[in-house]
Every structure is written in C-alpha cells, then in structure tokens.
Structure 1
Amino acid sequence: MDLNLTGRRALVTGSSNGLGAATARLLAAEGATVVVHGRDAVRTRAVADSIIAAGGTAHIAIGDLSTDEGADAVADAALAGGPVDILVNNAGAYDHIPWKDATAGVWAETYNVNVLSGVRMIHRIAGPMRRRGWGRVITIGGGLALQPMDAQPHYNATLAARHNLAVSLARELKGTGVTSNVVSPGAILVDSVQELVTSIAPAHGWTGTWAEIEAAATEDWIPNDIGRFGRPEEVAAAVAYLASDRAAYISGAIIRVDGGLIRSAF
C-alpha cells in the first residue's frame, strides 16, 4: 500500500532511540523527509545517518522539550527546511517509582516532561498546519491510560492526559484538514524493556532462551492474545498509516497496538 508520504515532512520527537527511532525510520522509508529529535546529539545523529544510509532523507533537531527555550530550538530546526506536515509527539519518560515515593514534585516533573512537552510542540507546529489545510498530529500514548497499575501513578496519569489532550485537539481542529489521533502501545520490546525483563527474570523463575523468557514474562506479566511483546516496527506502522491520506477520515481515535492486552469493549 502506497501511503503517499513522499514530499511530506515529519517531526518525530524523542526519536533518538526506541519507538521514536523505529517510527522515524519507517516514515522515511515511506518517502517522508524526517526530522529526528533528541537531547543527545550523537545518538540523534546516528539515527538520522542510518536513515540516510538506507536511502531516506533526514535532518536533526536537538533540544529539551521540557522547557520553552528547548521547544523553540526544536521547532526552529524542524521548520528550517520547510513546513512540518506530520508531528509525532513521542518524547517522554517513565520510571518505576511506587505511590509512596511519588512525591508532588515527581508528579509535577513527570507531567511537564510527558504532557506539557507535547503541548509545546502542538502550539508551535499545529498552527501552520491549520493555515495550510493539511496536517497530522499523532500522540504516542499507552494502555496504562485506560488500565493503570498500582505502581507508577504519576506516569499512568500522564498517559491518560496525553490521550485526553489528543482527542480535545481533534475537536479543536474540526474541519481544518488536520487530524489528531493516539497510538496506544502495550508492552513493546525496546532495548530498555528487554534489559528490564532480563534483569528480573531470575526472581520470577523465567529461564532458558530469550524466546522462552519472553513467553514466560508475557504469560505472567502482560498476558495478551498474541502471546509476546510487541515490536517497535508494529507501533511505527500504525503511526505511518495515521500520517497518510488513507487515514483522512480518522480523528480523535485511539488505536491500540497491544496484542489485546487492554480488555475493553470500547
């Protein structure tokens, strides 16, 4: 399927590794010019170079989106080569802090990094999309927005806020040619997740090859209908579809890429 992304310009925040990097690579493979964003110039440049080596077109934008100054720098770099047609708000952070250690300060900082960073980029990028009459804003959310755990309450809440703001933005952009949607991953096998699972495997009795550990961890920890962790490329594929003309009739939607982890009728 031709997603008709050739000639489009995409900014993927937090794309120096993990889901963001996979998304940037796939959008570039589909013909988009991609702006790779990160705070670390070396890692960010490495992703952009890998895209270029594969025949794609990529530029970089360096900056900390948790500050207005950093967001300005990223927006300026992203817009320097032309208007941005696709904004993927992926940047964010998580930890494993339980309720008792999640102070008000931790909540505030997590909200700033995971929610306000995206708001900053929407303010800087979505306005020009509206004026041109075409654009895609895609927010990376997560299943914990709908079914939160007892731990990481501050992180769970920021995912719910990301979902909420994306749907609100869709209502705001009604009739403009700009859509706003959410891609909501389940447990995805990025490097940090594999490292975590490997480190806790002995305590849970998950042994054997990585395939055996993954199967056991899936059954005990994140039971789903597919029986494994998702792959970054599977999340990226959902983003690429929503970024395309093929998804012009989809706005305010939450697309779950979680193997059926979230047990919801809606």
Structure 2
Amino acid sequence: MNAQLTGRRALVTGASSGLGAAIATALAAEGAEVVVHGRDPARTESVAGAIRAAGGGAVAAVGDLATDAGADAVAGAALAAGPIDILVNNAGSYPHRSWRDATADDWREAYEVNVISGVRMIQRVVPGMRERGWGRVIQIGGGLALQPGAELPHYSATLAARHNLAVSLARELKGTGVTSNTVSPGAILVDGVRRFITGLAPGRGWGETWPEIERHAIEELAPNDVGRMGRPEEIAAAVLYLSGPLAGYVTGTTLRVDGGTVRGLH
C-alpha cells in the first residue's frame, strides 16, 4: 500500500502492545515518523526500537493519559521533534464488569481512560493541525458502540462516546483540511484475546487446535460473515487509508472492519 505518508508525523496512543503496536508499525512502514505512546517505559521503547530496527522512524512517549499531567508529558514529547499530522486515539481498557458488579467508580474510570484521555490529546494536538490546514484524527471504536450486549455496559458506552465525539469533531473542523473519523474493529486477535479464548476452550469443548478453537469462539461469542477473528494488520490497513491524502473526502464517518458482525446500522 502506498499511503503517501512520507514526511508525516503520527502519534498513536496505547501503542506499547496489541492493536496500537500494529498501527504504529504500519504507519512507520509507510514512511510516517511515529510517536509510540504507552504507560510502561520498557514496553513502549521496545515497540519504538523494533520500528527503528526495521528502518522506520519512531520515538517513545510515556505517560498516563487519564491525567492532565500525563497528557501534558505525552504531548510535550510528541511535539518536541515537530508537529503531529495524524492522531490515532487507540488507548483504552476493557475491564470485565457487568451490570451486576460495575460500580459508579468503574463507570467513571472507564470514561476517564477510554474517552477523556482521547479528548485531552485532541485538545493538545488538533489546534496545530488546524493552523497548518491539514490533519487526520482517528478514533478506534468498536461494534459494541452500535450493538451492545448485556455484559461490559460501561465499556460499550465509552465506545459509543468515541464514535459520537468523532462526528462532532468533524463538524467542528469543517473546511479546515483536518478530518475526523472512527475505525470500528470487530473481534480482533491480539495476544490477550488469544489467551482468553484458549483458556475458555477446554471447558466449552472448542477443540485443541487453534483453527478449531477460533471457529467455535466466533460462532458462540461474536458471529460474523467471514467466520474468523480479524487480525491487527487489517485494522492498521484501515487506519492507513484514513491517514493519507486519498481519504481527504472522508470525514465524520465510521469505517467498520468487523467481518460483517454489525448489521443494518451505519
């Protein structure tokens, strides 16, 4: 893919592992200089180092985006070497809670980590994009924003907030050359998901080989038309498209990469 990103600088939050690391790696492979954000210094620098070892440009920015001080530190590190052209708000968490055990504090923390953290980075990075007349802001959302289940109510609600704020931001940025969109993944096979599903497999009779386990897990947990989980690289490809000049006519929209899990909604 030629995403035409050479010379651009991108900040990917929550990029010290999993989906964020895949996005940062893909952006760097397309020529962007990437700021890899994480809360753990060693893990964050490991991803940045791997990108550099592969010939890409990357620096690490460490901080807790759930606090103003942490967001200031990350923004300062990200902007130290130049402006940010692409902001990918990926950082977040999904603690397993239900309506039965999710407290008000659990809800408050979920919004702080999954929603307000992204707002903090928008407030610190997007004004510069507006001044320069070019920029890309991408939220990583999810299908639970549109079709939530009974479980994870606090997490699903934060995803809906991410989708909503992306559209509102697009309206705010009308005519500026800065776009705002959401990439909405389905069930994605990151390391943590694979460990979780592999742990469930024996008790549910899903088989012993990974192809068997994945097929049964999808059928029972997240049915889709493709019949498998998505790979981080497939989400990263959607981010690449929205990050480049070919997506200049795309704003205020949601790009679903979910194998057809979400149906009948836009």
TM-score, normalisation: structure 2:
0.99
- Report the Cα distance in structure 2 between the residues aligned to 1:7 and 1:152, rounded to whole angstroms: 40
- Report the Cα distance in structure 2 between the residues aligned to 1:264 and 1:15, rounded to whole angstroms: 32
Matches within 5 A, 1:112-131: 112-131=112-131
1:2 is matched with which residue? 2
2:231 is matched with which residue? 231
Letter in structure 1 aligned against 2:14 = G
Letter in structure 2 aligned against 1:238 = A
2:39 is matched with which residue? 39
Q: Cα gap change, 1:7/1:250 in structure 2, threshold over 3 Å: closer, same or farther?
A: same
- Report the Cα distance in structure 2 between the residues aligned to 1:8 and 1:64, rounded to whole angstroms: 25
- Report the Cα distance in structure 2 between the residues aligned to 1:62 and 1:264, rounded to whole angstroms: 40
Give how far 1:93 is off.
0.4
Q: Is the 8 A contact 2:185 2:257 kept in 1?
A: yes
Give how far 1:203 is off.
2.0
1:66 matched to 2:66:
yes
Letter in structure 1 aligned against 2:151 = A
For the aligned residue pairs, the C-alpha RMSD in angstroms reads 0.7
Give how far 1:265 is off.
4.5
Matches within 5 A, 1:1-266: 1-266=1-266
TM-score, normalisation: structure 1:
0.99
Q: Which runs of 5+ in 1 are unaligned?
A: none
Helix, strand or coil: the match of 1:99? coil
Give how far 1:219 is off.
1.4
Letter in structure 1 aligned against 2:224 = N
Aligned residues: 266
Give how far 1:89 is off.
0.2
- Report the Cα distance in structure 2 between the residues aligned to 1:195 and 1:131, rounded to whole angstroms: 45
Cα deviations by residue, 1:6-41 (Å, 9 ceiling, x for unpaired):
000000000000110000000000000000000000
Give how far 1:220 is off.
1.6
Cα deviations by residue, 1:26-85 (Å, 9 ceiling, x for unpaired):
000000000000000000011001101111000010000000000000000000000000
Cα deviations by residue, 1:117-165 (Å, 9 ceiling, x for unpaired):
0000000000000000000000000000000010111001000000000
Q: Which runs of 5+ in 2 are unaligned?
A: none
Query: Bigger CA drift: 20-29 or 200-209?
Result: 200-209
- Report the Cα distance in structure 2 between the residues aligned to 1:57 and 1:110, rounded to whole angstroms: 32
- Report the Cα distance in structure 2 between the residues aligned to 1:187 and 1:3, rounded to whole angstroms: 25
- Report the Cα distance in structure 1 between the residues aligned to 2:203 and 2:259, rounded to whole angstroms: 25
Question: Percent same amino acid at aligned positions?
Answer: 68
Q: Is the 8 A contact 2:146 2:265 kept in 1?
A: no
